[in-house]
Amino acid sequence: MATQTGKLASAKPAATTWTALYRAPIDSSASGVLNMVSDGTAANVRVGVKKYDIAATLDASTYLLHPGDVVTNKTLTFDTSIPIITDQQDTFTPGQLITMNDGETTFKWESYYVPPSTDFYVKKVGILTYSIENQTGSFSVGETLTGGTGNGTAVIYDIIDGSLGGSTLYLGPVTGTTFVEGETLTGGTSSATGDIAAGGVGVSRDEFVFSSNGAGGTYSLQRSASVTLFLDRTYKFFVQDASMSGVGFALSTTINGTFGIDQTAGTSDDGTEYVSGKTSSGTAGASGAYVQYDMSANGGGDATYYYFDTADGTLGGSDQSLQLSVDYSYDTIYIYDLQGTLTNASDAITLGQTTFTLTSNAGSKWGYVQEVSGTSVNIVTGLGSADFAGADTFYDVPKIGTASRSLATISSIDTAANAIDSVDQIMHDNEVDAAERLTSLIIGPGQVLMVYAATQNISFDYSGFQDSSSDFSVRSFDVNAIIAADGASGGG
């Protein structure tokens, strides 16, 4: 079925410059006539048809790439993570056309973005609990409280909502005058206030606190909301803070790990350290030191892991836990064929009953693998994409969803979008002094009609029929793919 009829493209290109006159969409082909008309001054012209936009060399030949694979570096990040299942409705599928809620912008879904590593920064802090009553406003984790009867200050590391208009605050060591019963505490950023209840001062205990936004970020005790780990990714716990010197941060499926509930090693309730997928670097308390867990090495489903100190039985407990889940969620996705503009903090998509608002977007390039051999790959530029360039990266596209994806890097561009190989030329330096035409000129899916004139005196017009075509099979990465599809093997 014809999707466009008549003039498909026209241009009067600059002198001695190869110009893409017409690009056939990846799902269409065209048949038409190329008219070349001089404005009165004769000039030599060249015409060619490329099967791709760029030819590139990758940094390795081991990537799982195949003709028709979608490759992209365009990401969208949302304010809320998108789970695999949302509101009892299946989530988006590879290649699905998505329309923003304003109806103006569309894109196609490529895959979820799984970060190479999710980082947490860990400190050991002496924590006291304070029961608060007569509270006004809402305190915030990370803010500094000031006492009302002295010059004491302390940081909030967690908040547990309570009854009777109060809450329980988990505070770091008080600097200055110690907080006492009946004292009014005031939040430094929230301006919330509350009185310490009678008998509401707890006992100091060393605790691990976590930051997910860098060493200088907001640390939380993770009581009100425990950290959730997902089976499909790696987690790195930085233990470089000076407070971690001499501490052995570790995980176990047993409360308090190798010390057990009684906090004493060598008794019947002792557990074992969880070491599957564990690697470490540096010495705790020293710059850059971390403990890392590749949770994909777990091989199981939902689980609870208790963190503890391998050197001390007092840091663990039943509430010192991380939750491992297979209910994956992702705040960033890869997309392609973006049409329209994106506005952060305004544009949104809806799945089921949940709306996800765009917070940021990055990248500008997407396309399709036309051919791949060893480190050489030919790419058809996608609709609305910028041209790929050297040093650009994109993930490969394994045929089986459980396979690990690798990040490919373009080492060099061998044939640029505004260049053409001699083998692809069909007319070379033919003089046009009035008018000339090429008839029955067929442009296949993803192919590019290129034109060139020695001077800027030639107008090119390509007119005919653009028809839908299924000759080029497009495939996005699918985590649910089990059986490898037919097709040529990749560059590895």
Give the mean pLDDT per block of 10 residues along the chain (492 residues): 86 97 95 97 97 97 96 96 63 88 95 88 96 93 91 94 78 93 95 94 94 94 84 92 97 94 93 94 97 83 88 90 84 95 95 90 97 97 94 95 89 96 95 95 96 98 95 88 50 41
Neighbours of 193 (CB within 10 A): 17
Give residue 163's pLDDT.
Answer: 57
In terms of Cα–Cα distance, which of 336, 422, 414 is closest to 50? 422
CA distances 160 to 1, 154, 155, 184, 251, Å, are 63, 17, 15, 18, 25
Q: How many CB atoms lie within 10 A of CB 240?
A: 19
Q: Are 370 and 380 in contact (CB under 8 A)?
A: yes
State how far Cα 154 lies from the chain centre.
36
Task: Give all strands of the β-sheet with 19-23 in edge-to-edge order.
Answer: 19-23, 448-453, 43-50, 425-432
Contact 349, 356 (CB under 8 A): yes
| 163: CB partners within 8 A, 6+ apart | none
Q: Which two tokens stand for residue 135?
A: 């509270």
**Cα 444 to Cα 25: distance, rounded to the nearest angstrom:** 9
Q: In sequence order, which ranges of 346-483 are alpha helices (DSSP H)?
A: none
CA distance 417 to 18: 9
**Quick check: helix, strand or coil at residue 273?**
strand
pTM for the predicted model, two decimal places: 0.77
Bridge pairing between strands 407-415 and 393-395: antiparallel
CA terminus-to-terminus distance, the chain: 38
In sequence order, what are the beta bridge partners of 6?
464
- How many separate helices (H) and strands (E) can be counted in the chain? 0, 37
In whole angstroms, what is the distance from residue 424 CA to residue 51 CA?
8
Q: What pLDDT shows up at residue 164?
A: 54
Say which residues have a Cβ less than 8 Å from residue 489's Cβ, sequence separation at least 6.
Answer: 66
Coil, strand or helix: which one is 246? Answer: coil
**Cα separation values, 137 from 172, 274, 447, Å:** 21, 42, 63
| Dmax (CA) of the chain | 100
